[in-house]
């Protein structure tokens, strides 16, 4: 076989037919290929046959450096997983998990069955919600003390002013951190798990101010309303913060980071 097999996600093996009800016929993957299931031991991997000309080690490495390719492929990867997530429980695989053939995929399903079972147990019937919080760093600090300009020379005044500026920036950092912790604590109340991501790149994500929080929360579907209410309450409680919610996402951030450290 002159190809490779890209794996998108693992789902419970659908009863009955070959899972055509999980994926609409026109779902295509990272290479524009149609997506199919490879089943083993009660699990099924959503896979696509992709050409080695693009997905062998060398060409794949090159593609990963090409941001247009990467964007299209990342969106396609996500699209497949999202469609599965709409239909069933899903454990997303990290982008660019590629095997030589279906047998290798079946071997992984069998060999890592325990990890998949654990991931399903954690995330079944749940969604990931993303929450970002922004503050305006230029917003006036509450009750700022006017700085003594001091008698001294112009040089001293300058240094004092610099010092005051630095202090007010540190204060703003401090307030932002405190705010982030308060938000995280409040939101975690209505979520089962919570993961902090890095603040996103300002220009890539196109925002102003400081992103003080970029977290994912794992929320049972039945608790989505409570989570939403909690977000609304946070907006009211912290009017200095702008909150942005995204989701529901497939549970990307909750399916097995503990494996991360084993990466070669």
Partner 1 sequence: MNQPAWTGPNSTRAPAQPGRGEPSSLADILERVLDKGIVIAGDIRVDLLDIELLTIKIRLIVASVDRAREMGIDWWEHDPALSSQERDVVEENRRLRRRVGDLEAERSAGPAQVTASGAEEATEPAAEEEHRRPEPAGEPDSRPDGGRSADRGRRP
Binding characters for partner 1, 110-149, by CB under 8 A (x = yes): --x--xx--x---------xx---x-xx------------
Angstrom distance (rounded) from CA 15 to CA 13: 6
Q: What angle do CA 20, 24, 30 make, to 5 degrees?
A: 105
209 binds partner 1 (CB under 8 A): yes
End-to-end CA distance of the chain: 28
One of 20, 24, 53, 71 touching partner 1 (CB under 8 A): 71
- C-alpha span between 192 and 237 (Å, rounded): 22
Is there binding between residue 210 and partner 1 (CB under 8 A)? yes
Binding span for partner 1 by CB under 8 A among 20-28, 31-39, 93-101, 156-164:
93-101
Residue 185, strand partner residues:
none
If the CB atoms of residues 36 and 93 are measured against partner 1, the closer one turns out to be 93
- DSSP H/E element including 32: none
Residue range at the interface with partner 1 (CB under 8 A); choices 19-27, 75-83, 144-152, 158-166 = 75-83
Alpha-carbon gap, residue 21 to 18, rounded angstroms: 8
**Given the rule CB under 8 A, which of 11-19, 32-40, 150-158, 195-203 is the region that contacts partner 1?**
195-203
Instruction: Give least dist CB 45 to partner 1, A.
Output: 10
Residue 30 token pair = 């990272």
């Amino acid at each position: 076989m002159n190809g490779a097999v890209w794996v998108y996600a693992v789902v419970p093996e659908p009863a009955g037919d070959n899972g055509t009800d999980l994926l609409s016929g026109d779902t295509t993957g990272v290479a524009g290929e149609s997506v199919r299931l490879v089943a083993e031991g009660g699990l099924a991997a959503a896979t696509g046959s992709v050409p080695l000309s693009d997905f062998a080690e060398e060409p794949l490495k090159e593609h990963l450096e090409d941001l247009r390719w990467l964007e299209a492929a990342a969106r396609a990867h996500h699209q497949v997983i999202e469609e599965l997530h709409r239909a069933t429980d899903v454990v997303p695989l990290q982008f660019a998990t590629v095997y030589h053939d279906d047998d290798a995929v079946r071997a992984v399903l069998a060999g890592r069955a325990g990890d998949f079972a654990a991931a399903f147990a954690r995330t079944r019937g749940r969604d990931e919600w993303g929450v970002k919080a922004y503050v305006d760093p230029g917003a006036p600090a509450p009750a700022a003390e006017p700085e003594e300009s001091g008698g001294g020379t112009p040089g001293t005044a300058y240094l004092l002013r610099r010092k005051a500026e630095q202090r007010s920036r540190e204060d703003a950092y401090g307030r932002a951190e405190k705010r982030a912790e308060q938000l995280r604590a409040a939101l975690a109340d209505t979520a089962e798990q919570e993961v902090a991501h890095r603040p996103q790149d300002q220009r890539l994500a196109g925002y102003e101010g400081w992103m003080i929080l970029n977290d994912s929360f794992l929320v049972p579907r039945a608790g989505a309303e409570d989570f939403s209410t909690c977000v609304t309450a946070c907006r009211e409680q912290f009017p200095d913060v702008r909150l942005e919610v995204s989701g529901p996402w497939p549970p990307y951030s909750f399916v097995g980071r503990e494996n991360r450290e084993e990466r070669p």
